[in-house]
Amino acid sequence: MKRISAAVALLAVVVVGGALPAQAQKKTLTIALNQDPDILDPSLARTYVGRIVFSHICEKLYEIDEQLRILPQLAADLPQISDGGKTVTIKLRPNVKFNDGSPMDAEAVRFSLDRHRTLKGSNRASELAPVDAVEVVDKATVRLRLKAPFAPLLAQLTDRAGMPVSPAAVHKLGDKFGTAPVCVGPWQFAERVPQDRIVVERSPHYFDPGSAKFDKVIFRIIPDDNVRLANLKSGDIDLMHQVGPTDAVALKKEPKFEVSNVTGLGYQGITINLRNKTGKQNPPGDVGTPLANDPRVREAFELSIDREALNQVAWDGLYTPGCTPIPPISVFFDKSRKCPPRDIAKAKQLLAAAGLPSGYAFEMVIVNNPRERRVGEVIQQMAKEAGFNISLRPSEFASALKDDDDGKTQTFLIGWSGRVDPDGNIHQIQTCKGSLNSTLACDDRIDALLNKAREVTDVNQRRALYREATDMFAARRNVIYVYHQNYIVAFPKSFKGYTAVPDGLIRAKGTSWP
């Protein structure tokens, strides 16, 4: 007993004396997310928070950096383009293994790209729609044959469409792959407790083991901003995702914490169900509501919203009001476009013309966390002045996404985390057969413009095509774009190596305690 007591006393002296800092001993990094991701299958997934988890366990052929440059990740170099842009040849990084130890070679990449393209329900299908075939040239080379030149292809491969998955794991797990995904990454999937945590552990097969400084990374699901903040201050979490602007201002005044703030590539908007009666996989039908069937009602709703005031009230003015899916940091941003100002009188006139002089009531689904409730409540009060009676239905994130896909929502306050190429913010959401077009809005003229924008490489030509297409889908208002958010992350100043990228993803690779 005396020996044990002496050892404990010695340890106490060392720790108190500062020779053995507590954080230096940490082998686990804990990141708090504000939402629970949906399925962890790169082909089927659609949530932003899921992309944060994937960035640790499912690397991509290409990556983007803080300056929005596209760089090779699992590819060995940028692709070779030939045949007038219709043939794309990609060399792969040699000697790479999946987290189950099987080789990530050209055949595995072909398998993965074909799975993204053809798996039933794949949300990557429209992202890779121009790809006609994927061929294996040799063990370290794949060749993509395109139906037409596809300018956004490289950008698509910086996200889930560019994530190779282990064919062995897919064959073993089948449609359960998303419950235990196997890809290439510094960490590998270990455990998931829904609505609580996702745990990943250091992979023994990763080609750059020194970049993973932690034995484990734990993603804790904490929807409440105040609870996440309290956990950060108590040291129970290391990184706080989606810090509110007000909290960010306060944290900057505390010497212990660093606050990272970057303008994002995405948008926040209100999705309005136009034709999705029985699910987005089924033929469109008549939803039977004035909001769905009468564009005047949707225009009146948009005119009831004051984007500038919403930004001030909900976000302390730190976000950017916007009315298109292209953010101001993009080279494709249309500086000439002006968002429609709030006009209550005109909104009331439109409702009256639509046969609704006494106003109109509808339901808006919001994700059940304080941030979304705050935005929903501000919109609810603004719209009320024009004659809209909006009831808010809070829902768990993944459940809300499923209801939206299944046609069980009238409106849905939902954002998109954004892609480096505008095609990734628009095509799959606004085209007739887009894999994320849950509204089932369809206009062949819009499709033609967006498809043409995929084929040309000149920035000015593409910008003009997006301007014309935006004029059309902004008028039909299946999505009312409201603002572009900033991604704010907080962590102790002793945490080193963190880099903020405009896609808003937290990347633990290369980070460490001193």
Q: Write down the pLDDT at residue 218.
A: 98
Interval 74-80 mean pLDDT: 98
Interval 385-393 mean pLDDT: 98
The terminus-to-terminus CA distance of the chain in angstroms comes to: 35
Token code pair at residue 388: 């809209």
In angstroms, the CA 92 to CA 139 distance is 9
Q: Is the confidence at residue 162, as pLDDT, over 90? A: yes
Q: Write down the pLDDT at residue 1.
A: 35
Whether this prediction's pTM lies above 0.75 is answered by yes
In angstroms, the CA 291 to CA 389 distance is 12
Element (H, E) at 486: strand 486-492
Summarize pLDDT for 328-384 with one digit per residue, the tens: 999 999 999 999 999 999 999 999 999 999 999 999 999 998 889 999 999 999 999
Q: How far is CA 278 from CA 226, 285, 409, 412, in A?
A: 38, 8, 11, 16
Question: Of 302, 344, 324, 349, which is closest to residue 472 (Cα–Cα)?
Answer: 324
Q: Which domains does the chain have, with CATH numbers?
A: 21-58+185-264+487-514 (3.40.190.10), 70-164 (3.90.76.10), 267-484 (3.10.105.10)
Question: Of 45, 128, 70, 68, which is closest to residue 327 (Cα–Cα)?
Answer: 68
Strand-strand pairing, 28-33 and 239-240: parallel
Interval 451-465 mean pLDDT: 96
Question: Band of the pLDDT at 17, cuts 50, 70, 90?
Answer: very low
Question: Of 198, 267, 186, 206, which is closest to residue 482 (Cα–Cα)?
Answer: 267
Q: Is the confidence at residue 11, as pLDDT, over 70? A: no
Q: Report CA torsion sign: 95, 96, 102, 104.
A: negative
Summarize pLDDT for 304-330 with one digit per residue, the tens: 999 999 999 999 898 999 999 999 999
